[in-house]
Chain A
Amino acid sequence: MVEPAVNVVVETPVLEVRDLRMFIHADRGTRIVRAVNGLSFSLGAGRTMGIIGESGSGKSMASLSILRLLPRGARVEAGEVLFGGENLLKKSDSEMRRIRGRHIAMILQDPMVSLDPLFRVGEQVAEPLRTHQGLSGETLRRRVIELLGAVGIPAPESRFDQYPHQMSGGMLQRIVGAAAISCGPELLIADEPTTALDPTVQAQYLDLLEELQDRTGLSLIVITHDLGVAARLCDDVIVMYAGRAAERGSVRDIFERPAHPYTQALLSTLPGRRAPGEHKRLKTIDGQPPDLAALPPGCPFAPRCPRADDRCRTETPPEIALDPTHMAACWYASDA
């Protein structure tokens, strides 16, 4: 037997999504909106994956599909969501309940409306611990206060009995974070973690996410339309367009060697460094994202793509591997 030259550690990814497709019945079933059209990715333990895209690119729907918490009228059509090697799409509802909050947690977009206004915040952090770990009484209370402290809430004992309306947005985001990580999940999905927060609180919150990840080793999926957040937090990035991955790769691949024209266009919209006194108009991407209920044939980005030709308008490009971790769904990806 030949020893491998390099000791390659092959670890099973925490999460592997294969060719996920889902649709939503809109307008009383008269329109079928294909929100996710064949999304694949895998996420290793302790790594952070960013899912970037405009609103309506399917990034939130993809994450809700993972947790099987789709809105009414939405259905997963095909694909696999492998978590710890098991397909979540095949689990029963009660099996999924035991996974949610315990193994996979999620932070919703707006902390101001994520908590029940009629219950004390301590109770709302305590609930998953009671449900999944059977804690109660003084043990439970101590554990909750410990968690509140861990997410950076000053004087956690006094905050325990407060109601959501008595707290600021940044504070509520931390409470929501404490509830999410309470049972030590292996995977945390953060849906637009900073959009609802004041700019001053945003940075603190990103620090907190990083710190939690360092301490607990959890894997993180960050859904965002903020390229800055992705660049700052993520190891790997998926750029979504029209329910598909336009490009995926390491954060360096995406930001330094973008291969897909959509990624390139996105990056060019960022305000660059300017000399003092210099005025430049911010760039925009011409055109509109396609109607997901009536996707044109070919590459969904073709109508807005400066490089598109007849082939792009008729044949959907596959994901073309540029190197083992970097791929782009563009016929001309390797020409870049």
Chain B
Amino acid sequence: MLSFFLRRLKLALITILGVTLIVFVAARLSGDVVYSLVGDAANTEEIDTMRRQLGLDRPVWMQYFTYVGNVAQGDFGRSIRYQRPVTDVIAERVPFTVQLGLTAFFVSIVLGVSLGILAARTRGSFVDGAVRTIAVVGQSMPHFWIGMMAILVFAVTLRWLPTSGAGGLSHLVMPALTLATFPMAAILRITRSSMLETLDAEYVKFLRVKGLAERLIVWKHALRNALIPVIALSGIQLGNLLGGAVIVETVFSWPGLGNLMVESIVSRDYPVIQSGVLMIAVFLISLNFLVDLIFGLIDPRIRYG
């Protein structure tokens, strides 16, 4: 178990290093932050001064090593735009994204798994067909479109919910449901197919031969077996939620990390972009590790080593 953990840690460090390098270079390829800071009237001298102040006059590889060195010491730099430490800027956005993401994740798991089981148990029926239609529609509609339609219908026309921004629960409803549609549909589909496969397994037949009640067969045995691929996919979907959050937060002006990332890219706020992506990478890597640990809890055949 310890050696498994150490090996994963080593891989994680390599991945993170790669991510920082790519983001570092890509951010600088997107354009020069200095020009957007000094304005059109600035002369060459002012531009050079500004560039020196930000440390952007040195070769990119030197900047990179300074950055990595600083990060290793816990210094993530200052936001060029906000003139405050990056950690502060990010920290005030994270809770919003966590709230939005977890709500969407919870909704997509609960709906996806229960509808998936329902469809599997009523295979071939009208209910099954309806649920599968929901899944296809949910996976086909892009977030921004669902978001705009939701605003149009529920906020503008019906006036049930606020159009945008963060606030009480009413502000959370539309962005969370919009963000949940895609993962919900994906989880639904895999739950259905995995459950169908499990219900056809020989050991399920033997459970029936033993005379067990159908609810015991479905909820105790079949579900646990069927959940293995569902958990793998849910981990991936929770990661994808962050990508979806960038769009959904923009559509609904939700003040989360995704919104911050878009702002920072537009204004070329390199330190915020770098640390934001770094944080997301660390989150995804931890998520994968967590999923592997959950597998071990469910499936006795899995050994770490």
Q: In the bound complex, how far is the Cα of B206 from the Cα of A300, in angstroms? A: 33
A119's closest neighbor in chain B, by CB? Answer: B221
Surface stretch bound by B, among A2-10, A78-86, A125-133: A125-133
B213 cross-chain contacts in A, Cβ below 8 A: 97, 131
Are B211 and A108 in contact, with the CB atoms below 8 A? no
Are B206 and A115 in contact, with the CB atoms below 8 A? yes
- Which residue in B202, B210, B211, B298 is a CB contact (below 8 Å) of A118? B298
B300 cross-chain contacts in A, Cβ below 8 A: 117-118, 163, 165
- Which residue in A72, A102, A110, A163 is a CB contact (below 8 Å) of B211? A102
Q: Cβ of B28 < 8 Å from any Cβ of A? A: no
- Which residue in A99, A108, A118, A165 is a CB contact (below 8 Å) of B206? A108
Are B225 and A127 in contact, with the CB atoms below 8 A? no
Are B212 and A118 in contact, with the CB atoms below 8 A? no
* Residues of A96-139 contacting chain B, CB below 8 A: 97-102, 105-106, 108-110, 113-119, 127-128, 131-132
Are A131 and B301 in contact, with the CB atoms below 8 A? no
Asked if A106 meets B201 with Cβ closer than 8 Å, knowing A117-B299, A118-B224, A165-B300, the reply is no
Q: Cβ of B208 < 8 Å from any Cβ of A? A: yes
Rounded to whole Å, the gap between the CB of A187 and the closest CB of chain B is 12
Rounded to whole Å, the gap between the CB of A182 and the closest CB of chain B is 8
Are B211 and A69 in contact, with the CB atoms below 8 A? no
Are A114 and B211 in contact, with the CB atoms below 8 A? no
Q: In the bound complex, how far is the Cα of B207 from the Cα of A105, in angstroms? A: 11
- Which residue in B211, B225, B301 is a CB contact (below 8 Å) of A132? B211
B299 cross-chain contacts in A, Cβ below 8 A: 117-118
A148 cross-chain contacts in B, Cβ below 8 A: none
Are A117 and B225 in contact, with the CB atoms below 8 A? yes
A114 cross-chain contacts in B, Cβ below 8 A: 202-203, 206
B84 cross-chain contacts in A, Cβ below 8 A: none
Q: In the bound complex, how far is the Cα of B221 from the Cα of A118, in angstroms? A: 8
Are A108 and B208 in contact, with the CB atoms below 8 A? no
Q: In the bound complex, how far is the Cα of B299 from the Cα of A165, in angstroms? A: 11
- Which residue in B210, B216, B224 is a CB contact (below 8 Å) of A100? B210
B224 cross-chain contacts in A, Cβ below 8 A: 118
Q: In the bound complex, how far is the Cα of B205 from the Cα of A163, in angstroms? A: 19
Rounded to whole Å, the gap between the CB of B228 and the closest CB of chain A is 9
Q: Cβ of A292 < 8 Å from any Cβ of B? A: no
Q: Cβ of A20 < 8 Å from any Cβ of B? A: no
Q: Cβ of B14 < 8 Å from any Cβ of A? A: no
* Residues of B238-297 contacting chain A, CB below 8 A: none
- Which residue in B203, B211, B298, B301 is a CB contact (below 8 Å) of A115? B203
A108 cross-chain contacts in B, Cβ below 8 A: 202, 205-206, 209
Are A97 and B211 in contact, with the CB atoms below 8 A? yes
Q: In the bound complex, how far is the Cα of B125 from the Cα of A72, in angstroms? A: 13
Q: Cβ of A176 < 8 Å from any Cβ of B? A: yes
Q: In the bound complex, how far is the Cα of B301 from the Cα of A106, in angstroms? A: 27
Q: In the bound complex, how far is the Cα of B206 from the Cα of A46, in angstroms? A: 24
- Interface 1/0 per residue, B117-146 and A, CB below 8 Å: 000000100000000000000000000000
Are B212 and A113 in contact, with the CB atoms below 8 A? no
Rounded to whole Å, the gap between the CB of A185 and the closest CB of chain B is 10
Rounded to whole Å, the gap between the CB of B197 and the closest CB of chain A is 13
Asked if A100 meets B209 with Cβ closer than 8 Å, knowing A117-B299, A117-B301, the reply is yes
B208 cross-chain contacts in A, Cβ below 8 A: 69, 100
- Interface 1/0 per residue, A65-94 and B, CB below 8 Å: 001010010000000000000000000000
Rounded to whole Å, the gap between the CB of A299 and the closest CB of chain B is 34
B224's closest neighbor in chain A, by CB? Answer: A118
Are A101 and B221 in contact, with the CB atoms below 8 A? no
Q: In the bound complex, how far is the Cα of B216 from the Cα of A306, in angstroms? A: 53
A166's closest neighbor in chain B, by CB? Answer: B300
- Which residue in A69, A110, A115, A128 is a CB contact (below 8 Å) of B212? A128
B209's closest neighbor in chain A, by CB? Answer: A106
Chain A residues with a Cβ under 8 A of chain B:
67, 69, 72, 97-102, 105-106, 108-110, 113-119, 127-128, 131-132, 163, 165, 176, 179-180
Chain B residues with a Cβ under 8 A of chain A:
123, 201-203, 205-213, 216, 221, 224-225, 298-301
With A72-B123, A115-B206, A165-B301 given, name 17 new contacts (CB 8 A): A69-B208, A97-B211, A97-B212, A101-B209, A101-B210, A115-B203, A116-B203, A116-B225, A117-B203, A117-B301, A127-B207, A127-B210, A127-B216, A131-B210, A131-B211, A163-B300, A179-B210
Return the 4 tightest CB-CB contacts between A and B, nearest first: A101-B211, A100-B211, A101-B210, A113-B202
